Amino acid sequence: MNPRIDDLRRRLERDPASIAFAQLAEEYRRAGSFEEAVEVARAGLAVHAGYVSARVTLGRALLALGRIDEAGLELAIAIRQAPDNLAATRGLAAVHQQRGDGEAALTHFESALSLAPRDPGLQDLVSSLADSARTRREAQARAERTIAALERWLAAVHGTRTERRP
């Protein structure tokens, strides 16, 4: 197994109230052991509720497990506790993206970019999402104009039929 995980687990066994739980949960998450990360993070947060990085780890592990609503809740709490936490902001943006809410995802990714303005990957992502949002808005506007034109046409047809009836 991972010697770092083994060491952290032993530290936590010696002192169950230790904040080492946060490091252990993160190591589990990085190793892809998401259920273990969730379990350790939740147990530790029961004692240290204000430990933001542990809450972010919990949110990211939940996100990896596809537990989107739970992840969103944990990451939103982390952002309320530390509004400038980049990992929490990116995580919450990813939650919205997975929910299919591109506008909210874009808003949070823009917030993340304001925290890390020199991150080229984040710059590219924000640019791409902004382009997609603009395209969606333009398509929605076209659809609304088309529907309005069809409704006017249908009203005209209905009016013509009404006039022809004896």
Confidence (pLDDT) at 166: 67
pLDDT value, residue 80: 96
User: Alpha-carbon distance 11 to 88, whole Å?
Assistant: 26
**Could you list the residue range(s) of the whole structural domain that residue 46 is in?**
3-164
118-160: per-residue pLDDT in tens?
999 999 999 998 998 888 889 999 999 999 999 999 999 988 8
Average pLDDT, the chain: 94
List the one residue out of 73, 134, 77, 124 whose CA is nearest residue 102.
134
User: CA nearest 60: which of 82, 29, 32?
Assistant: 29
Max Cα separation, the chain? 94
pTM of the predicted structure, to 2 decimals: 0.78
Each residue's pLDDT tens digit, 81-118:
999 999 999 999 999 999 999 899 999 999 999 999 99
The number of domains in the chain is 1
Give the separation between CA 155 and CA 161, rounded to whole angstroms: 10
pLDDT at 30 over 90: yes
Q: Indicate which CATH number applies to the domain containing 158.
A: 1.25.40.10
Cα 153 to Cα 163: distance, rounded to the nearest angstrom: 15
